[in-house]
Amino acid sequence: MNEASSKQLLDKLIGFATVSRDSNLEMIAFIRNYLEELGVQCELFYNPEHTKANLFATIGPNVAGGVVLSGHTDVVPVDGQAWTMEPFRMTERDGRLYGRGAADMKGFIASVLAAVPMFLKRSLKQPVHLAFSYDEEVGCLGVRSMLAELEKRTHRPRVCLIGEPTALKPVLGHKGKLAMRCHVKGAPCHSAYAPYGVNAIQYAARLIGRLEEIGEELAQPERHDARFDPPFSTVQTGVIKGGRALNIVPAECEFDFEVRALPDFNAEEVSDQLHTYAQAELLPKMRAVQRDTDIRLQPLSAYPGLATAPDSEAARLLALLSNSSEFGTVAFGTEGGLFERAGIPTVVCGPGSMDQGHKPDEFITVEQLMECDAMMVRVADYLSNSD
């Protein structure tokens, strides 16, 4: 294995425009063909429409234990971003490899795939599992079907390494996320008679105000966890729609909000508090004017946080693989909490930086890719020497 092989594979992977709204099947087919030509059998787990798939493969003995190397195949859109080069064609300049997904997280997948011939040549005592998912960027949705199947199996992996971009620094934790949509149904009328209607926008504003109050409560110092930045659970409203004309009391308004929750905080407490406020304070006033008004909360997506103990076996392995025990956390989410729920202890460490992720001219350095290749050698050493 060498730097050129992982770089060549990254060039191929970036060429697949696997934006979450589109299919990832061309990229999955490429990976499957690559692995099967090397003699590695693959399993695919499709979405209901058969337009996307997860891929799972195992190299080494069919025994319990081993390491899962996990990455997501989907990327965020490039729409509206000021790229100075083609986003879905890798460009190399000054030691950097540019392209959508270079850092988040096709660089890691390329390094893993480049290591497969090495894994096959080594006498592994424990297996290495490859797990590549879809729809991570829209709520960690795709990996769930693959994990549901893994939970049924007798042989459980010992640890999962998710290669999200951390500049190869070892990470043991991140926040969870809950995304919700609130629908407010008011009662329209001519704005000259506004008191006789129910203004959906104004009631939505009161709900948003209550969310801000909840966020302030969560930010109190006694609820801080200094491992995270910011050190508390956060609430924010990101999208709002409502109204048709200024001279019509608006009948409809909806807004989307999210909770970024510390691992020990149940994000649903926020939506529960908002529901209680709507039922007890707002709906009686609305329905005193018009009986069929309503406030409805709709879940959009959710994934749990991750908090792996620094004295755990998974943490010790991460220190070995990353050559560092200076564990940290990240602000962004991963599929790690879902692997944990499936009974697979999980850590996060991968090449590149999220400082470049989701931005125009996204890149990973050649140096980081080479360092990830070296980490794959340490993975092979560990699996060859441990029982």
> Can you give the pLDDT at residue 5?
87
Which residue segment(s) compose the domain that 249 sits in?
A: 176-303
Same domain, 187 and 281: yes
Q: Encode 261-300: b = buried (16+ Cβ within 10 Å), e = exposed.
A: bbbebebeebbeebbebbeeebeeebeeebeebebeeeee
Spacing of C-alpha 163 from chain mean position = 11
> Can you give the pLDDT at residue 4?
47
Same domain, 227 and 188: yes
| pTM, to two decimals | 0.92
Given 11, 104, 136, 362, the catalytic residue = 136
> Can you give the pLDDT at residue 387?
62
Same domain, 38 and 163: yes
Is 149 catalytic? The answer is: no
Same domain, 274 and 204: yes
Number of domains in the chain: 2
Boundary-marking domain end, from 250, 280, 303 = 303
Same domain, 49 and 153: yes
Same domain, 128 and 274: no
Cα dihedral value 227, 228, 234, 238, nearest 10: -170
Is 387 catalytic? The answer is: no
Given 11, 74, 340, 361, the catalytic residue = 74
* Lookup result for tokens 């995270």: 228
Mean pLDDT per 10-residue segment, the chain (387 residues): 73 98 98 96 97 98 95 97 97 97 98 97 96 96 95 92 98 97 98 98 98 98 94 97 98 98 96 98 98 97 95 95 95 95 96 96 97 97 87
Same domain, 10 and 148: yes
Same domain, 213 and 350: no
Same domain, 38 and 159: yes
> Can you give the pLDDT at residue 258?
97
> Can you give the pLDDT at residue 315?
96
Boundary-marking domain end, from 257, 287, 303 = 303
> Can you give the pLDDT at residue 372?
98
CA neighbor of 289 nearest in space, from 207, 200, 201: 200
Dist. CA 63–CA 61, nearest whole Å: 6
Boundary-marking domain end, from 283, 303, 323 = 303
> Can you give the pLDDT at residue 290?
96
Same domain, 275 and 339: no
The residues pairing with 253 across neighbouring beta strands, listed in sequence order, are 184, 242
